[in-house]
A and B are shown apart, each in its own frame.
Chain A
Amino acid sequence: MSSNIQIPNATCPACGLLCDDIRIEDVTAHNACTKGIAFFSQAIANPQPLVSGKPSSLEEAVKHAAGILSQSLRPMIAGLSTDIHGMRALTPLATKLKADLQHINQASLQHNMQTMQSAGWFTTTLSEVKNRADVIVCIGTDIVTHNPRFFERFVWAKNAMFTDPNTRKIIYLGGEKLDTMHGRECAWVLTSRIADLPDILATLNALLLNKPLKASTVAGIAMTDLQKLAETLKQAKYAVLAWAAKDLDFPHASLAVQQITNIVATLNQTTRAAGLPLGGSDGDYSINNVHAWRTGKVLPDLTDAKPDAQVWVNSFNADAPPSFCHTPTIILGNANTPWSNHADVFIPIATPGLDCNGTMMRVDSSISLPLKQVRESGLPTLADVVRKLEALLP
Chain B
Amino acid sequence: MITLLKGGRLYDPAHNKDGVQQDIYIRDGRIIDKPDATEKIGQAYDLTGKVVMAGAIDMHSHIGGGKVNIARMLLPEFRTYTEPEAHICTPHCKHHATPTTTETGFRYIEMGYTAAFEPAMMPINARQTHLEMGDTPLIDKGCYAMLGNDDYFLRLLHQKADQKIINDYVAWTLHATQAIGIKVVNPGGISAFKFNQRKLDLDENNAHYQVSPRDILKALSSAVHELGIAKPLHVHCNNLGAAGNFETTLNTMGASDGLPMHLTHIQFHSYGTEGDKKFSSAAAQIAEALNKHKHITADVGQILFGQTVTASGDTMQQYLNSKLAHPKKSVLMDIECEAGCGVVPFKYKDQNYVNALQWAIGLEIFLSVEDPWRIFLTTDHPNGAPFVSYPHLIRLLMDKTFRNEMFDKLNLDAQAMSNLKSLEREYTLYEIATMTRAAAAKLIGLKDRGHLGVSAAADITVYTDQADREAMFSKPDFVFKDGKLVVKDGKVIKVTWGATHTAKPVFDNSVERGLRDYFEKYQTIQLDNLKISNDEIADNGNGRIINQTID
Instruction: Give A262 Cβ to nearest chain B Cβ, in Å.
Output: 12
Partner among A9, A128, A288 whose Cβ is within 8 Å of the Cβ of B335: A128
Interface residues of A in 343-394 (CB under 8 A from B): 359, 361, 365-370
Which stretch of B120-128, B263-271, B446-454 is in the interface? B120-128
**A366 touching B100 by the CB < 8 A rule?**
no
**A125 touching B100 by the CB < 8 A rule?**
no
**B524 touching A154 by the CB < 8 A rule?**
yes
Is residue A306 within 8 Å, beta carbon to beta carbon, of the partner chain?
no
Which stretch of A66-74, A115-123, A213-221 is in the interface? A115-123
Q: Given A117-B329, A268-B319, A370-B529, do A132 and B194 touch, yes or no (CB 8 Å)?
A: yes
Total A-B residue pairs with C-beta atoms closer than 8 Å?
152
**A127 touching B333 by the CB < 8 A rule?**
no
Interface residues of B in 327-358 (CB under 8 A from A): 328-338, 343
CA of A123 to CA of B74, assembled, Å:
14
Interface range on chain B (Cβ under 8 Å from partner): 35 or more
**A368 touching B127 by the CB < 8 A rule?**
yes
Interface secondary structure of A, over-half rule: mixed
Interface residues of A in 293-331 (CB under 8 A from B): 293-298
Is residue B526 within 8 Å, beta carbon to beta carbon, of the partner chain?
yes
Is residue B76 within 8 Å, beta carbon to beta carbon, of the partner chain?
yes
Q: Given A125-B335, A292-B69, A297-B76, do A367 and B522 touch, yes or no (CB 8 Å)?
A: no
Q: Given A118-B329, A128-B337, do A294 and B135 touch, yes or no (CB 8 Å)?
A: yes
CA of A189 to CA of B75, assembled, Å:
37
Instruction: Give A294 Cβ to nearest chain B Cβ, in Å.
Output: 6
CA of A289 to CA of B325, assembled, Å:
23
Q: Given A116-B73, A125-B335, A366-B335, do A272 and B196 touch, yes or no (CB 8 Å)?
A: yes
Interface residues of A in 116-140 (CB under 8 A from B): 116-128, 130-132
**A88 touching B196 by the CB < 8 A rule?**
no
**B334 touching A128 by the CB < 8 A rule?**
yes
Is residue A271 within 8 Å, beta carbon to beta carbon, of the partner chain?
yes
A-chain residues with CB within 8 Å of residue B102 when the two chains form the complex: 294
Partner among A21, A161, A272, A298 whose Cβ is within 8 Å of the Cβ of B73: A298
**A296 touching B72 by the CB < 8 A rule?**
yes
Partner among A124, A159, A361 whose Cβ is within 8 Å of the Cβ of B128: A361
Interface range on chain A (Cβ under 8 Å from partner): 35 or more
Is residue B426 within 8 Å, beta carbon to beta carbon, of the partner chain?
no
**B131 touching A359 by the CB < 8 A rule?**
yes
Q: Given A116-B331, A132-B194, A296-B79, do A20 and B529 touch, yes or no (CB 8 Å)?
A: yes
Is residue B98 within 8 Å, beta carbon to beta carbon, of the partner chain?
yes
Interface residues of B in 172-186 (CB under 8 A from A): none
**B529 touching A124 by the CB < 8 A rule?**
no
Partner among A118, A158, A293 whose Cβ is within 8 Å of the Cβ of B132: A293
**A20 touching B525 by the CB < 8 A rule?**
yes
Partner among B66, B95, B343 whose Cβ is within 8 Å of the Cβ of A296: B95
Is residue A84 within 8 Å, beta carbon to beta carbon, of the partner chain?
yes
List 10 A-B pairs, Cβ < 8 Å.
A120-B332, A122-B332, A122-B333, A123-B331, A127-B336, A130-B522, A293-B69, A368-B131, A369-B127, A369-B529
**Which residues of A are interface residues toward B (Cβ below 8 A)?**
9, 11, 20-21, 84, 88, 113, 116-128, 130-132, 153-154, 158-162, 237-238, 268, 271-272, 274, 288-289, 292-298, 359, 361, 365-370
Using A238-B194, A366-B125 as known contacts, list a sample of 19 further A-B pairs with CB atoms less than 8 Å apart, ordered by residue number in A: A9-B528, A9-B529, A116-B329, A117-B74, A120-B331, A121-B331, A159-B521, A159-B522, A274-B334, A294-B102, A296-B72, A296-B100, A359-B127, A366-B333, A366-B336, A367-B124, A368-B125, A369-B525, A370-B529
**Which residues of B are interface residues toward A (Cβ below 8 A)?**
64, 66, 68-69, 72-76, 78-79, 95, 98-103, 122, 124-125, 127-128, 131-132, 135, 151, 193-196, 208, 319, 322, 325, 328-338, 343, 521-526, 528-529, 536
